[in-house]
Amino acid sequence: MPAKNGIILFEKQYQPIVDPIEEFWHVLNNVITGSVGALFLLLTLPFLYLYNRISPPKQKRVMVGTHPIVSNIHYKQLLEKALKGYEVEIFIFIDWLKEPSYFDLQTTDILPRWFVGKNAYWLSPYVILLWALRRYRGFYWHLDGAILERTILWRCEPFILAIFGKKVVMQAYGADQWSLFESADNLNFKFGLSHFRKRYFMMDFKRIKRNYMWAKYVDTMIGDIRYLPRVGTFSLAHFYVDFEQLPYHCNENMQKIIIAHYANHPERKGSHAIEAICNELIREGYAIEYRSIHGVSREEALAILDESHIFIEHLFNGVFGTGALEAMAKGNVVLTNIDQRLIDFCLVQDYSFYGPFFKEMPIVNVNVHTLKENIIALIQDPTILKKRVETSRMFIEHCSRRVVEGFCENSDFQDLFDGVDYAQR
């Protein structure tokens, strides 16, 4: 628990994030291996450039990646619908989630294990970039998903891609766009980020610089207007899930209401408060069961959503994520937090669309003050709860169809990636 008897314990014992000597050896190792890899890459690039000019690849491909994130699956499906004549592949460096369904290729499928070694980010990125420059016409990456992101040449990647005529779309997923220094207006969020990963804290300045860099050079930027210096598109309404992978399953048994929550990274979602509020409702006699989902496979997590009635996403992030969308598709009423600033922004910019949208949206906007009363309002009348469950599924189906139609009718992505003309370069 983060607090006890009113004392908020940021850390049980304040310690350095990393030992200075350990950090020194880590940096030295990166410099040495990075120098070798960078030299190899820079010497090889001219030959690859000539080879691509003389013998352009015939197969048109786009890479999605490069981390094992569930949203990649949805991006791939959308791009496959939008790009005619293209093969879309999800590439990741490391399958740290042990979820083969999240990717098509990983580093060890391309390079021998002895070369990859203990860390796929040491030497492998320099070779993977050469492979990717030959194999792909364009890239659909996360902000921290560029191939050279963790190398000493990360600032050079936009220029290398431009020289080779590659097009890049950056789609932020969340943690790749947030920074501690730019999240001070939400103390819970700042606290959650500081406990997310120690490397996350240490890379804060780099994250800010990197996002500014890609905002200058990338072909299209899609992300959260609150945290990025420049975005091409932003929407609170255009989201997509694959219904073939997410069959609807409404739990008709309303005798005990099951409430589910993805409690991975609890400080970042308000999980401790969510659990405390649900336990308080149980003590008060409400017929609910709280299920905290963490440390399980994607298949197991989705199975829990088949049984639950209500899904609580988070209390303060300000925007809904993939988990909320999948929960709606599976037959859950979603309670999450939507930043009022984003609601105001959307209403001002496109009132004719977002005015009706926010009125019809079945997602319940909550915070730590309103979560309990909203849960009570839902569980006291099973008829209302069941109706909202049905509305949630219809709503996510409607939004997903709209996104698919938009991707297919709008040729922006097709035109973007087709613009790579090897013969003229």
DSSP 400-422: HHHHHHHHHH--HHHHHHHT--G
Considering the domain architecture, whether residues 276 and 140 belong to the same structural domain is answered as no
Tokens representing 425? 């370069």
Considering the domain architecture, whether residues 264 and 219 belong to the same structural domain is answered as no
Cβ contact 259:278 at 8 Å: yes
Q: Quote the pLDDT of residue 422.
A: 35
Q: How far apart are CA 406 and CA 418, in angstroms?
A: 18
pLDDT grade, residue 16 (50/70/90)? Answer: confident
Domain of 399, CATH number, reads 3.40.50.2000
Q: How far apart are CA 176 and CA 178, in angstroms?
A: 6
Q: What is the mean pLDDT of residues 53-65?
A: 94
Considering the domain architecture, whether residues 285 and 398 belong to the same structural domain is answered as yes
Question: Does 424 have pLDDT greater than 80?
Answer: no
Question: Does 184 have pLDDT greater than 70?
Answer: no
Tokens representing 78? 């959308």
242, part of any domain: no
159, part of any domain: yes
- pLDDT by residue (tens digit) across 271-298? 999 999 999 999 999 999 999 998 888 8
221, part of any domain: yes
Considering the domain architecture, whether residues 182 and 33 belong to the same structural domain is answered as yes
Question: 3-state class of 38 per DSSP?
Answer: helix
Q: What is the mean pLDDT of residues 119-142?
A: 95
348, part of any domain: yes
Considering the domain architecture, whether residues 143 and 194 belong to the same structural domain is answered as yes
1, part of any domain: no
Q: What domain range is 296 assigned to?
A: 257-408
- Looking at the 3D structure of the chain, how many domains does it have? 2
7, part of any domain: no
Question: Does 421 have pLDDT greater than 80?
Answer: no
What is the rounded average pLDDT for all residues in the chain? 87
Q: How far apart are CA 249 and CA 236, in angstroms?
A: 25
By mean pLDDT, which of 93-107, 201-215, 358-372 is the weakest?
201-215
Considering the domain architecture, whether residues 182 and 306 belong to the same structural domain is answered as no
Considering the domain architecture, whether residues 211 and 269 belong to the same structural domain is answered as no
Considering the domain architecture, whether residues 333 and 384 belong to the same structural domain is answered as yes
Question: 3-state class of 167 per DSSP?
Answer: strand
Cβ contact 17:99 at 8 Å: no
Compare 226 and 314 and report the one with higher pLDDT. Answer: 314
Considering the domain architecture, whether residues 221 and 265 belong to the same structural domain is answered as no
Considering the domain architecture, whether residues 288 and 181 belong to the same structural domain is answered as no
Considering the domain architecture, whether residues 316 and 210 belong to the same structural domain is answered as no
Global pTM value: 0.85
Q: What is the mean pLDDT of residues 406-413?
A: 74
What angle, 0 to 180 degrees and rounded to 10, lies between the N-to-C axes of helices 371-379 and 382-409? 110
Q: How far apart are CA 227 and CA 242, in angstroms?
A: 28
Considering the domain architecture, whether residues 261 and 329 belong to the same structural domain is answered as yes
